[in-house]
Amino acid sequence: MNTRGVYQRLVRADRRDQSQAHQRIIARNGLRQVVANSLQAVGDQVVNAKTVLPWLLASLGAPMVLVGLLVPIRESGSMLPQAALAPMVQRRGRRTTVWIIGAAGQALATAALALIAATLDGQAAGVLLLAALALFSVSRSLCSLAGKDVLGRTVPEGERGQINGWSTVFSGAVAITLGLLIRLLGGDDVSTMVLAALLGAAALAWVLAAVVYRGVREPEQENPPASAVEDEGWARSAWNLLRSDAGFRRFVVARALLLVSALSPPFVVALSAATGDAGLGSLGPFVMAQGVAALVGGRPFGRWADRSSRRLMLWGAAFATLVVVLFLAVVLFIPGSRELWWIYPAVYLVLVLSHTAVRVARKTYVVDLAEGDLRTRYIAVANTAMGVLLLVAGAISGALAALGPEAALGFLAVLGVAGVVVSHSLPETGKTG
């Protein structure tokens, strides 16, 4: 079967307005982005600040205070620079080059993590691990910024959500395999060499992703001149965009309130660790749960996002909020429930499934929200704003966690309710609008 046939089996769309030559170009670009994004997502399963990296810090004997810095560096570090980087990206006629640079940076950072895991321990290992993670996050910001722009340039509306969905499915299959491998090889010990080998394989995945992505063909476009963003400065430009564009501002607020699905899972893991063992083998079920969520949710969520990414965001957040409330009710009011080891991976699975829905939906929504350089600005400003808001929400939930993970989960549930209300007021985009 040729490239076009494979693509059309994977992605459903109305192609009556597309010539066969145009369909072949879209199929080539779409499949390459599916493969490259899947390879990147494979690496993400290993360089995971919520599961694998905390285990690695523990195994290296690093101070536990460093664990609290993992998620802020990983998440905010990939978001905060984007508004400042957007003018540089906009000056390039070929945005795929930016993505390839970002993938190379992630490969280098992950290789450094593997080297640290294999050769160092103690505080020095922990500090160097955070430095490598910072390089990883900044490199990831380039892929995040350029990748959505390339997707919008090369794949038409009605097909973009399915591209994101299939990438999620393939990464989920690998995550399940990874979780089984960790479960089988880890046993009751925390093995740094196993984690070092996995990190080395993840670095290779980003190298392969860059090679595949290099074949994506963007529409011919000359390098644009300096933009108004550069004239007034990126910070002022970002603030003016948020202040003047009410629809975009509402999306940013909704996305911030939807952090319930992103920030709740680590507290479930923390509750599990408080009642069980901390061996590498116990990490396996959580990694597998993450993979199952991606495998099960990726394809249907991608199609749903192409029909209405707004509704998918809304229902994903609502479900995550309900699960958090029910979980709290069980562990707080049912005696003996905390000792049921299976409840934690099960709740983690459902929360990550909800987050998969929200993530696929918001990615599709922002790509469909605008065209051209305005799309680039939307993506950059939204992610920079989210980096700031993530630090704030993380600081509040982290402070509440001093009272116990239950208090932090309660705060996130309240955020989730507000997020559902705001998401309901968002306008539809694309073919549903």
Global pTM value: 0.75
The domains of the chain, with CATH numbers, are 22-222+233-427 (1.20.1250.20)
CB 187 within 8 A of CB 281: yes
Alpha carbons 429 and 76: distance in angstroms, whole number: 27
E strand or H helix that includes residue 37: helix 20-46
| Residue 38: burial class (beta carbons within 10 Å; 0-12, 13-18, 19+) | buried
What tens-digit pLDDT sequence spans the chain (433 residues)? 688 888 888 888 878 788 888 888 899 999 999 999 989 988 988 898 877 887 788 778 887 667 667 877 888 888 888 888 878 887 787 889 999 999 999 999 999 999 999 999 889 999 999 999 999 999 999 998 899 889 988 998 888 888 878 887 887 787 788 777 776 765 555 568 888 998 999 999 999 999 999 999 988 665 555 454 555 677 788 888 888 888 888 888 888 888 888 788 877 877 776 675 555 556 677 878 878 887 888 778 888 888 888 889 889 989 999 999 999 999 888 888 888 878 888 898 999 899 888 988 888 888 788 777 788 788 888 888 888 887 787 778 767 777 878 888 898 899 889 988 888 888 887 554 4
In the chain, the amino acid numbered 148 is K
Residues 6+ apart with CB under 8 A from 48: 287, 290
Tokens coding 338: 């905390």
Alpha carbons 311 and 318: distance in angstroms, whole number: 10
Residues 6+ apart with CB under 8 A from 247: 369, 426, 427
E strand or H helix that includes residue 105: helix 96-119
pLDDT of residue 318: 92
Task: Show the DSSP H helices in 157-224 as ranges.
Answer: 160-186, 192-213
Residues 6+ apart with CB under 8 A from 395: none
CB 49 within 8 A of CB 71: yes
Residue owning tokens 């459902």: 350
Helix, strand or coil, per DSSP, at residue 91: coil
pLDDT of residue 18: 82
Alpha carbons 262 and 344: distance in angstroms, whole number: 16
Tokens coding 16: 């009556």
Helix, strand or coil, per DSSP, at residue 188: coil
How far CA 350 is from CA of 260, 381, 393, in Å, comes to: 13, 30, 22
- Report the candidate in 167, 55, 39 with the shortest Cα–Cα distance to residue 103: 39
**Cα angle 382, 384, 93; round to 5:** 75
